[in-house]
């Protein structure tokens, strides 16, 4: 029997209703995944479903007592809570919010776009790159819904974000002020329980994410951005062993800030 945490999962696309079938078919072709029928019943070979429905695309583990489907929902209570809770202050300070207007950030490891959304909410223009095709699909779907939201706050924050499916290094040459990296989900440990959605993503990314965070960091440092910022677990070594200019420390994570030059304020809008 395969251990859920060690082996890349088998995925399939599932249209929730008959009217979702065309979109599901298209998604299956794009991602080279099998497309199930709406009246699908659980199949032992499928570990995860990419569910296509009227309310968006979500990822669901196939198992008894599996957690709720994972979806990118920038208007969720969790995102609004994070905004009110003030936890975003460190991230904003790390990337340079307030140092110049309309700060341009490349989030080279966008994942589910949570940090990017926080930065866009703080007024940054954010270009996101996500190389895992399924994660990139969830991200693009969430961004589309945010941009089309009736809520003017949500749609205006979404309008400051763009998403690229693919390796961030394809964005070279980067013209942003700051390149932001959050390359690794924290390792599962006995003491640090990983939230259900992060655990699902960790499982999804098994086998697809090489341990190339140092190389991504070296790439970022070679680009023309004024700053490179790396999110790290509090006690982890800096990426590539490179000493940062300074660190901002939270309860469980820290931001390593590499100042390359002063922010260019000449092009502020
Ligand atoms: C820890 S997650 C980022 C979480 C994100 N900060 C958030 O707030 O949702 C790291 C993500 O970076 C992606 N990634 C890693 N290296 C990448 C690269 N070179 N280019 C694009 N995406 C990359 C992985 O596929 C993964 O989804």
Atom of ligand 1 nearest to the CA of 135: 27
Mean pLDDT across the stretch 153-163?
97
**115 known member of a binding site:** yes
Q: Is the CB of 202 under 6 A from ligand 1?
A: no
Structure tokens at 173: 């040459």
- Please count the other Cβ atoms lying within 10 Å of the Cβ belonging to residue 239: 23
The pLDDT tens digits for 81-97 are 777 666 678 999 999 99
Paired residues of 60 in beta bridges? 49
Q: Which domains does the chain have, with CATH numbers?
A: 11-61 (no CATH), 77-190+207-259 (3.40.50.150)
What's the CA angle centered on 170, arms 168 and 171, to 5 degrees? Answer: 75
> What's the CA gap between 123 and 58, in Å, rounded?
28
Ligand 1 atom 26 nearest Cα: 111
Ligand 1 centroid–CA 269 distance in Å is 29
What's the CA angle centered on 79, arms 248 and 76, to 5 degrees? Answer: 170
Mean pLDDT across the stretch 15-34?
96
**Residue 15, by phi and psi: left (phi above 0), alpha (psi -120 to 50) or beta?**
beta
Ligand 1 centroid–CA 100 distance in Å is 26
The pLDDT tens digits for 175-230 are 999 999 999 765 655 444 457 777 888 888 876 656 799 999 999 999 999 999 99
């Amino acid at each position: 029997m395969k251990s859920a945490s060690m082996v890349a999962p088998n995925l399939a696309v599932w249209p929730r209703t008959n009217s979702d079938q065309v979109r599901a078919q298209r998604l299956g072709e794009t991602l080279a995944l099998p497309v199930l029928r709406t009246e699908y019943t659980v199949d032992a070979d499928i570990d995860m479903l990419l569910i296509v429905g009227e309310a968006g695309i979500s990822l669901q583990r196939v198992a008894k007592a599996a957690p709720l489907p994972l979806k990118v929902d920038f208007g969720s209570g969790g995102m609004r809570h994070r905004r009110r809770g003030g936890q975003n202050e460190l991230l904003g300070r790390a990337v340079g919010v307030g140092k110049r207007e309309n700060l341009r950030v490349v989030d080279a490891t966008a994942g589910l776009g949570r940090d990017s959304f926080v930065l866009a909410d703080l007024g940054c223009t954010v270009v996101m790159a996500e190389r895992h095709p399924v994660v990139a699909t969830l991200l693009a779907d969430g961004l589309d819904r945010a941009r089309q939201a009736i809520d003017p706050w949500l749609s205006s924050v979404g309008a400051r974000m763009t998403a690229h499916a693919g390796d961030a290094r394809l964005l070279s040459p980067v013209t942003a002020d700051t390149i932001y990296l959050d390359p690794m989900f924290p390792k599962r440990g006995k003491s640090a329980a990983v939230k259900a959605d992060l655990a699902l993503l960790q499982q999804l990314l098994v086998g697809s994410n090489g341990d190339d965070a140092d190389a991504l960091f070296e790439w970022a440092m070679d680009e023309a951005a004024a700053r490179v910022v790396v999110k790290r677990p509090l006690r982890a070594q800096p990426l590539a062993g490179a000493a940062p200019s300074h660190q901002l420390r939270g309860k469980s994570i820290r931001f390593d800030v590499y100042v390359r030059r002063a922010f260019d304020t000449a092009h502020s809008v």
